[in-house]
Amino acid sequence: MRKLLDKMHGAVTGDGKYKKYYPVYEMVDTFLYSPTETSSGSPHVRDAIDLKRVMITVVFALIPCFYMAMWNTGYQANAALASMGLEAGTGWRWSVMSGLGLSANPESFGANIMLGALYFFPIYIVCNIAGGFWETLFAVIRKHEINEGFLVTGSLIPLIVPPHIPLWQVALATSFGVVIGKEIFGGTGKNILNPALLARAFLFFAYPAHISGNSVWVPVDGFSGATPLALAAEGGINAVVAKYSWWDCFIGTIPGSLGETSTLACLIGGVVLVFTGIASWRIMVSLLGGAFAVAIIFNAVSSGSNPMMTVSPLWHLVMGGLAFGMVYMATDPVSSSMTHKGQFYYGALIGIMIVLIRTVNPAYPEGVMLAILFGNVCAPFIDNLVMRANIKRRTVRSV
C-alpha cells in the first residue's frame, strides 16, 4: 500500500495529470500513515497526534454507544414484537433475519445485535457518504486538504436519531449540518455550531413527525413506546418509576435515539476522551453541576402543578440525551469555550438551560440539543469576557 501511494504521488502533485484530486489522495495517505512532513521554521512542537488522530480517537470513544445502538434497538423491537405475539416484523430487515433463522426473541443476544445492526449501519453509511461527499467537494474546490471532521459528524448523527428515520432525511440533514453548519464558515475548525446537533435541529423542525412523539423510538409499526422523558413530562417521576427503574435508564434498555440511551456507555466514552486530553473535564463537571443545581431548586419548590419539577438530578442524568450531550457534544473543541475559566461558565450555562427547557417548556421535554446550540453561540462571548477580565487584572497588577 505504501509503495502504491508513493507511485501515485507524482500524478496528484505539481503539474500531475490528476493534481486537482490531491485532497482525496492526501486523505487516504494520512489516514493510513502518519504524515512525514515536518515544519522547517521555528518555533514548532513535534507531536504524535494530529487532527486525524483526534478524530479517530473520538470515533473510538463512541464504540460503547455503537454497541448499545445496535443491541438496544434490536432489544426494543424484539420485545415489542414479543408483547404483540409476533415472531417477526415486516420489511427487508426481517427477510434477512428469517434467512439467518432468527426470530423476535428479546432474550437472544444475536437476534438483538443483528436486528439493531440492520437499522444502525444503513444510517451510519448514509451519514458518512453524505458528509464525505461534501467534505471532499469543498476541499477540491478550495484546493486544501480533506479534514476528517466528517468522520465524527457521520458517527454522531446516527446515534442521535430514531432507528426508523427515512434514509433520505438522514442524507439531507447531514448535508445541512456539514454545509450550513461548517463549510460556509470555512470548514473544520472554523464552525461556530456543532454540525451534528445542527443536523438534528434541522430534522426536528423540518420533519417533526419522524423525530418526535412516542411512535418513532421503537422500530415496530403500530407500537407506541414512550421514552422516560415523555412519561415524566406527562406524569412526573412516579410515571417513570412505574415503568422503568433508574438502573434500566442508566444501562440504556429504554426507548430513545439509537445511541444516546445508555448513560453507562457515554461515561465510558467520556473517560477515554478526558484521559486522552481531547475533551474538557471542566465542561462535563460544570454542565452536570449546573443541571443538578437547577433540578434541586425545582424539586424544592415543586407544588405538583408541573410534573417535571418532581424529577430528581440523578433521574435527569439518565433520561434523554443529557449524558451523551455532556460527553460528546458540549465538549466539541471547536464550538465550545476555549479558555479554562470560560469552560466552567459555558458548561454551567448549558446544564442550567437543559433543565430549564425540560421543566419550563412542557411541549419540549428534551432540552439538550437547544441548550448546547445556545451554548455554542455564547461561547465566543464567554471567552471574550474571560480574556478581558484577565487583561484588566494584569493591567492592575502592572500598575
Q: Where a domain ends, among 208, 225, 242?
A: 225
How does residue 2 score in pLDDT terms, banded at 50, 70 and 90?
Answer: confident
pLDDT, tens only, 210-267: 898 888 999 998 888 889 999 998 888 999 999 999 999 999 999 999 999 999 999 9
Q: Could you tell me which residue, 322 or 14, shows the higher pLDDT?
A: 322
Q: What does the pLDDT read at residue 187?
A: 72
**61 and 210, same domain (yes or no):** yes
- Residue 119 scores a pLDDT above 70: yes
Is 40 inside a domain boundary?
Answer: no
- 130 plus 216 within the same structural domain: yes
Q: Are residues 55 and 178 in the same domain?
A: yes
Domain-located, residue 41: no
The pLDDT, as a whole number, for residue 52 is: 63
Q: Are residues 68 and 168 located together in one domain of the fold? A: yes
Query: Does 389 reside within a domain?
Result: yes
Distance in angstroms (rounded) separating the CA atoms of residues 230 and 346: 27
Total length of the chain: 399
Q: What percent of the chain has pLDDT over 70?
A: 89
Q: Residue 157 in contact with residue 174, Cβ under 8 Å?
A: yes
Mean pLDDT of 283-299: 96
Model confidence at 114: pLDDT above 90:
yes
DSSP 222: T
166 in any annotated domain: yes
**What nine digits make up the cell of 238?**
412516579
pLDDT tens digits for range 157-210: 999 999 999 999 999 999 999 999 888 887 777 788 999 999 999 999 999 988
Q: What is the pLDDT of residue 32?
A: 66
pLDDT at 40 over 90: no
In order of 323, 336, 379, 394, the CA distances from 340 in angstroms are 21, 11, 12, 17
Domain boundary among 183, 208, 225: 225
At 155, the pLDDT band (50, 70, 90 cuts) reads very high
DSSP state of 326: I
| Residue 8 scores a pLDDT above 60 | yes
Supply the mean pLDDT for the chain.
88
CA neighbours within 13 Å on the CB side: how many for 293?
13
Sign of CA dihedral 309, 315, 318, 323: positive
- Residue 18 predicted with pLDDT over 60: yes
Confidence band for 34, pLDDT divided at 50, 70 and 90: low
Same domain, 155 and 273: no
Cell of 243: 415503568
CA pair distance 271, 64, nearest whole angstrom: 12
Are 294 and 353 contacting, i.e. CB atoms less than 8 angstroms apart? Answer: no
Q: What is the pLDDT of residues 50-84, one digit of tens each?
A: 566 677 889 999 999 999 999 999 999 999 999 99
**C-alpha span between 264 and 282 (Å, rounded):** 19
Range of the domain at 100: 49-225
Residue 185, all three cell numbers: 464558515
Pick the last residue of a domain from 225, 243, 267.
225
Name the least confident of 13-17, 71-75, 133-137, 260-264: 13-17
- Considering the domain architecture, whether residues 271 and 367 belong to the same structural domain is answered as yes
Per-residue model confidence (pLDDT) at position 89: 85
In the prediction, which pLDDT does 51 show?
60
Query: Does residue 42 form part of some domain?
Result: no
Q: State residue 90's pLDDT score.
A: 86
Contacts of 266 (CB under 8 A, 6+ apart): 64, 65, 260, 323, 324, 326, 327, 328
pTM above 0.75, yes or no: yes
Whether residue 360 is found in the same domain as residue 294: yes
Number of domains in the chain: 2
- Indicate if 54 and 152 belong to the same structural domain: yes
The cell numbers describing 340, all together, are 479554562
Residue with cell 486522552: 276
